[in-house]
Structure 1
């Protein structure tokens, strides 16, 4: 569903939800201790599900929250609304029984709504409620028709459906699946175009002062830009009205979906990849992005069991699921798993043992999860919540370099910079991988941070549409931002900066290699050599200096700004040559040596290290925010081969040196509950782990 939500997530005005707790009663989700199991029920399973077995399974798996179907596409309860199609397999009281029996065992129930489609019978009565493409086509999945967000079904009837469910059942939350504008059929991978429904045309005309709804998604067209504003406005308006309705009914009902505004729980998804290379850091990426970009929200990142929309009955590999779940809790989310159907008679049960293990582990050690504070002095700016294309590859490549080097870092979504001004100024290094556009307010925050002592590193086409910013911050002018660098070489010429290239004089290149005038920078490094003569060994050579450089450094009063106008992240993400990673790591070490000194270890690159400060997450400790210690999460990714997942290899005799102004009173391992030998001297904690299997959490209490 990543493509479906990519546009939606950019449409929301990004600031914290407006939930107000006027009663003074604690909002249940604020504990941030979710252990969610989502049962995505096919219609026919409504005939066989049993409340007792569902509750027994949830207890067996240590889950404390169930997410289950209620309505929208079809009602899984006895609806009285004639515009709400009833699941023909539905048993009258099963949803009510599930909710009642879950509550008896202190299990919360979030119910799922999907208002993206209506049944054919509803379409035949109200065709004007449904999507219409510029070619006059509908988006249809068997007998379900995609609706128009501005038509009465979404604008009026959806609220009636939600209200009916709230009035009938004591639910704890609502989850909105596939909200917003639908222009794709994600189940078939087909794009259909801007919705031309009459209600959309009238709504857009009213918003724009009589303009005609565009038919092409052309970013250069002012009319399309106005349409994007209109979509943002209409989605926000609908979300705000939903928020008012739900909270008027019961402020203890959590609203959960994939965006942030008027929402209590932001949901994200770790999904299987359809293209190589696979991304084993999906959960760390998703949770790290959301939890730092939206600090006033609870994040729940779902491990999606299915391999694809066409392969729903096969689950991804157990070791991939294990990595996702451990990354969730290590970064500050709870646990969340989404499956097709209920747990009885499931078509692929290979992940059950992993789910039981990690969920029970989280339950047992719950006080050490969910109340974290970052220690990172480095932040990577993310190109949105659901990155794709070149920006995604550049962004992931930069992450990969830092994770393999065990450098702690936060992730901040590009659209949230303007809402996190003070937080941004607190970092000592900001890395911008292919961040091609920032609002003027965000650019000013970068400039202010630079003046205050924050170093900057920008890669590839970052800020190409703001030439004055490139010149001011980096001393750079673009001559050609899109230049195929295949066949060029870079020279790591300055040995005081490039200390990782003993025995290597030329670094090959591929993908984009921007040609920038860096005469405004204080240092120009990595001279670019020409492509030379292609052919047999007898005639090769001719790699002469071009006069261009692949790196520039501009000195500011209290900081430095480095520009690397090339796909340095993408080339490492796709090919993994250490020389390209070392360019960035040497640059970081030059401007911020302490980045690599916060955590030092002999652990292999495939051991993910996540270091956080924590306060104990208990009911009695709910108002405490001061740090009570640090916790080092170790996630063993040695079983990841690049295109599959195996059992991780055990790793022995791991050593860690951690910067800490405080001496721990005790250090112990969560998996064994046994003490870990350590010493503290000159502001550093030194400790050793005898053996690492799949995961370890090392707690250092003050």
Structure 2
């Protein structure tokens, strides 16, 4: 029986083997693969540089001879000599020293099981089940997940010495394989559960419903509680079995995939993998994260290889941020022509395996924390706008080589409780809106010498109240200017002595998205000024801008810390127009608050990720020059790069490029140490060690 506390999150046991770095290959099998050559498959896993094999066990189809009436035994097993693919694969893996993670997909059941248990099924807002390729989606609120999943896990754990378990598609089925959005589940269990969770609210029908943010919180809570129950159940067996599941599991599952189809405008967010891994690594040091990297471009095109450079980016971003990578492809190794996709990634996997000790103790070391919003913090229907602000600032920091970690907004209080929030010199809240019960956490952080950057309406509740005592804002003075109301609006960074002549001193920075007008507290120092909207067409009368009392930014002291508030969506403006003067202005504000201990002189397409391993400084340098609208193509080599280590010119240090296999020249520049970088291909890892 587990004696862990009731908190939904579960860490790895202190001496678990899963605290060690690992690399996996997932062979996602179809029913015909019940006949595969397990010896050849296990050899392929080893050859790829992996020490872990993730393969099918049960759920939609059981690849072992299940005796449970609510499971479907793969009919192809009858043609296998042993009748048991999982058992044969286990034997082959153990002969090669591989760990095995058993894969389950409990998200769907056969028509037979659905007919026997209609109460287990997902129901659309209109009460319809969700059927895809004859399979019926089930709901995590219902009995199948809440009770029967434990029977399935027990059957496998009783029969096989697996090292881990993984539940695929562990979520509410609001979207199907064709990207059709069916909406929040309205099954009987969800109707009852949501009403109890929300205090009587009706279930929302879609993202625009006022209760949708509350629904997302219900989804998160339901899955977190079920995750904790599964982890405790497995741990109660007294074996070191890793549980790979959603956020809150001891091994968190993250997928690196080309999911642009779900994005507004169907535009790829190329940094999704790094963002997700950073959000985990910066907040949960006593757990692991498995990054499942897809070798195909889309769920509808599983035999279409991902670009080799794109697939390799998943792996590189994973290891740079502290994740354990998994190469994920369909079918028995060799049955589908996947080699072109995974070829470049093989060297990433092998590199990490060679440098296992380096990654064993690797921890994030950025001084800047960029807070990631969620549906709960955004106003109804505004989540994508808030996410664009976050992404705009993410890109600005990345391109100007300011190292940063991603911190989920709902983890701030937990980080502070761990004493980990204080390691950041700057916390950035990008237009996240209300932060509810975490305002005191942020106030305490600033009072105790932390620094804070707010943009847009960060720290402003939905009813217009200022939540942060440390905010420079006293109250809202007028409704926010949004959308078309901001057309032809600018911020001027310099004084405008000739504005009466309509003669302007640049730069003039466009303002897009939203500008929140405030009354500012006494002692708050304004910077720059807004030039409100003036006629912009036709050209003959497109002039007339004058200054206003609204600032570009405001500075304020609180306790030992400093707060800078930019009351407009500077990140969204950069995402919208990609103007470097917007980006540079945002980063200039950051650098006016904190000077990073490590920076770089590199092309904008190169990213630096900083970490520490005991007394070693570890810098991953990643080449994003191949990024395209919906994929990565071949990268362009970047030459002439340099790292700057602030204040370390007098230290006795040795710098080495691990991929290039060479020591790096370094010189002093005042108090700083300059390290010359080798030509950058896909990535490089620089280790700086005291001598």
> Does TM-score exceed 0.5, indicating one fold?
yes
Does 1:28 find its partner at 2:2?
A: no
Unmatched segments (≥5 aa) in structure 2: 1-5, 497-503
* Match runs of 1:483-498 below 5 Å: 483-484=482-483, 485-493=486-494
Contact 1:630/1:700 (8 A) holds in 2: yes
* Match runs of 1:118-133 below 5 Å: 118-133=109-124
Partner of 1:173: 164
Residues 470 and 503 (structure 1), Cα distance of their counterparts in 2 relative to 1, 3 Å cut: same
Cα distance in 1 for partners of 2:203, 2:159 equals 42
Contact 2:626/2:632 (8 A) holds in 1: yes
Q: Deviations over 1:613-660 (max 9, x none)?
A: 21xxxxxxxxxxxx1311222112223355553322223332222136
Partner of 2:433: 436
Contact 1:213/1:227 (8 A) holds in 2: no
Question: Which one of the candidate residues 574, 577, 594 is aligned to 2:576?
Answer: 574
Cα distance in 2 for partners of 1:164, 1:513 equals 58
Partner of 2:499: none
Question: Which one of the candidate residues 593, 611, 625 is aligned to 1:638?
Answer: 625
**Farther-moved stretch of structure 1 (237-246 vs 105-114):** 237-246
**Offset, 1:54:** 0.6
User: What is the SS of the residue equivalent to 1:467?
Assistant: coil
Contact 1:385/1:413 (8 A) holds in 2: no
User: What is the SS of the residue equivalent to 2:112?
Assistant: helix
Does 1:163 find its partner at 2:154?
A: yes
Contact 2:474/2:519 (8 A) holds in 1: yes
**Offset, 1:561:** 1.2
Partner of 2:680: 692
Partner of 1:602: 601
User: What is the SS of the residue equivalent to 1:586?
Assistant: helix
Partner of 1:278: 268
Question: Which one of the candidate residues 433, 442, 453 is aligned to 2:449?
Answer: 453
User: What is the SS of the residue equivalent to 2:549?
Assistant: strand
Q: Deviations over 1:372-393 (max 9, x none)?
A: 2333221111114999612221
Partner of 2:314: 324
Cα distance in 2 for partners of 1:352, 1:226 equals 40
Question: Which one of the candidate residues 272, 291, 310 is aligned to 1:301?
Answer: 291
Does 1:670 find its partner at 2:658?
A: yes
**Farther-moved stretch of structure 1 (638-647 vs 58-67):** 638-647
Does 1:356 find its partner at 2:356?
A: no
Does 1:391 find its partner at 2:386?
A: yes
User: What is the SS of the residue equivalent to 1:572?
Assistant: helix
Contact 1:630/1:701 (8 A) holds in 2: yes
Question: Which one of the candidate residues 474, 477, 493 is aligned to 2:475?
Answer: 477
**Farther-moved stretch of structure 1 (418-427 vs 656-665):** 656-665
Does 1:407 find its partner at 2:379?
A: no
Residues 521 and 270 (structure 1), Cα distance of their counterparts in 2 relative to 1, 3 Å cut: farther
Does 1:37 find its partner at 2:38?
A: no
Contact 1:405/1:605 (8 A) holds in 2: yes
Contact 1:333/1:370 (8 A) holds in 2: no
Cα distance in 2 for partners of 1:673, 1:563 equals 45
User: What is the SS of the residue equivalent to 1:692?
Assistant: coil
Partner of 2:3: none
Question: Which one of the candidate residues 234, 237, 252 is aligned to 1:266?
Answer: 252
Contact 1:55/1:101 (8 A) holds in 2: yes
**Farther-moved stretch of structure 1 (431-440 vs 411-420):** 431-440
Contact 1:332/1:371 (8 A) holds in 2: no
Cα distance in 2 for partners of 1:124, 1:234 equals 25
Residues 280 and 151 (structure 1), Cα distance of their counterparts in 2 relative to 1, 3 Å cut: closer
Alpha-carbon RMSD: 3.0
Cα distance in 2 for partners of 1:233, 1:535 equals 51
Cα distance in 2 for partners of 1:267, 1:378 equals 25
Residues 602 and 133 (structure 1), Cα distance of their counterparts in 2 relative to 1, 3 Å cut: closer
Residues 574 and 230 (structure 1), Cα distance of their counterparts in 2 relative to 1, 3 Å cut: closer
Unmatched segments (≥5 aa) in structure 1: 1-12, 496-501, 615-626
Structure-2-length-normalised TM-score: 0.88
Partner of 1:93: 84
Residues 234 and 308 (structure 1), Cα distance of their counterparts in 2 relative to 1, 3 Å cut: same
Does 1:335 find its partner at 2:320?
A: no
User: What is the SS of the residue equivalent to 1:651?
Assistant: coil
Partner of 1:515: 517
Residues 242 and 451 (structure 1), Cα distance of their counterparts in 2 relative to 1, 3 Å cut: same
**Farther-moved stretch of structure 1 (50-59 vs 339-348):** 339-348
**Offset, 1:203:** 5.4
Cα distance in 2 for partners of 1:278, 1:235 equals 27
Contact 2:256/2:273 (8 A) holds in 1: yes
Partner of 1:5: none
Residues 267 and 312 (structure 1), Cα distance of their counterparts in 2 relative to 1, 3 Å cut: same
**Offset, 1:171:** 0.5
User: What is the SS of the residue equivalent to 1:313?
Assistant: strand
Partner of 2:424: 427
Cα distance in 2 for partners of 1:76, 1:215 equals 38
**Offset, 1:170:** 1.0
How many residue pairs end up in the alignment? 658
User: What is the SS of the residue equivalent to 1:338?
Assistant: strand
Contact 1:507/1:579 (8 A) holds in 2: yes
Partner of 2:56: 69
Cα distance in 1 for partners of 2:266, 2:62 equals 39
